[in-house]
Amino acid sequence: MNKSIFQTFLLFFLLVFSTILKAENYPHRSDVLWITNPNHSDWIYKTNEKAKVSVSLYHYGILLDTLTVKYSVAPELMEEVQSGVAHIKNGIVTIDVGTLKYPGFLDLSLKVQLGGEEFKHHIKVGFDPDKLTAYTKYPSDFDSFWKAAKEKADQCPMVVEKTFIPEYSSDKVNCYLVKIQAYEKSSCVYGYLTMPNKKGKFPVVFSPPGAGIKPMNPLKDIFYAESGFIRFDMEIHGIRPNLDKQTYDEISRAFGNKNNSYLVNGLDNKDNYYMKKVYLSCLRVIDYLTTLPEWDGKNIIAQGGSQGGALALITTALDSRITACAANHPALSDMARYKMGRAGGYPHLFTKFEGMDTPEKLNTLQYYDVVNFARNINVPVFMTWGFNDNTCPPTTSYIVYNTLNTQKEALIMPVTEHWISLTTRHSILDWIRTQLK
């Protein structure tokens, strides 16, 4: 076997089995492993520069000598611009992916038939992604809109219910289920509060959730509390996070899918959009966390991924008490970019929903898009994202990162799709430690 191919195989093998979430390109217990290598090691090219990708395929760990592979190439999340077949010979074939004349990504999709079953793979390469800029405009009354909204939300009294949860607690960690009145008297949010089971003062990590309506399990990130941090894992819908999965599935079917989704509820009017309550409830959670006697009085870090990454950045922009932010592949970013015929951010309103392309909805999106909040962040930010992510595409993560005008760091992992490894999650915590005052 070629030495470089073997090294790549070994690296990908380790990546696959170090992840805690399933990577779409490398499903658990698959008999097939794709190896794709762009001719630029960082997967990045200049605009108008041609990209090439070598392709190999392993079946049961054995390199296949000859094989026919179908392929197509498309600008990220757009219609294909070329397609064909490639013939693997001596274990490898090189496909000319082409180029882009503008900053962005091309996506090479691959298919093969083995034993009557179809196996797929894809890989994206970037073209001057550091030059990507936002399509979404900054409304002239953006600041005044959110100033007025915050002042009104502040008038809602804070009522808190806190219940000790023994099944998530240990000799190292105490866990509580917390219910907080937020935004208005008829509204509330929940969350799991975990903290070190010892006396002392500790930094706080505020963690809003990814998209969807689903149960929560604080054990996933219990290592924060075990490492000396207070952590609050937030629920945004006012639904108890310890309900059974069947109940959550029923709720999700009612207002979590397609045009019933909370993400489009009230989108015709910026004052009535569902996410207004969510954004302002995040600030109420910060209100609560700063009252904790165990808080060190200095450090409040916002951290999350996908929708949670978006909410972490948004909260950081809206609340001056946040001292640092860590966000991986943020959603809700340059959502209207589809209007220019390019990939836009999750929830992909213009491709997965109906009736979204109206002046009223487009106007509302400007007030809720992450890129406009990113312009106002002035504390350190750490971001992570992958190229192969189709949920929160790298185009929009780059746009958010490029928009930030503050101290910032990025961990870019080209192979990553919409998942994050345990190693990277601990790397985020390591970065947070470097930001403590």
Q: Which residues are catalytic?
A: 306, 389, 418
Could you give the CA distance from residue 244 to residue 217 in angstroms, rounded to a whole number? 11
**CA 380 remoteness from chain centre:** 18
Instruction: Determine the length of the chain.
Output: 437
Helices 142-154/274-289 angle, 10° precision: 60
Which has the closest alpha carbon to 344: 357, 355, 331? 331
CB 141 within 8 A of CB 154: no
291 CB-near residues (< 8 Å, 6+ apart)? none
Q: Which phi and psi (to 5°) does residue 133 adopt?
A: -130, 160
Could you give the CA distance from residue 47 to residue 89 in angstroms, rounded to a whole number? 30
CB 40 within 8 A of CB 359: no
Which amino acid is located at 62 in the chain?
I
Could you give the CA distance from residue 2 to residue 132 in angstroms, rounded to a whole number? 36
**CA 169 remoteness from chain centre:** 28
- Cis peptide, bond prior to residue 293, ω within 30 of zero: no
Residue in this structure with the two tokens 């978006």, named with its chain if needed = 310
**What value, to the nearest 5°, has the Cα angle with vertex 403 and ends 400 and 404?**
90
CB 231 within 8 A of CB 207: yes
Element (H, E) at 173: strand 173-181
Tokens of 358: 């109206």
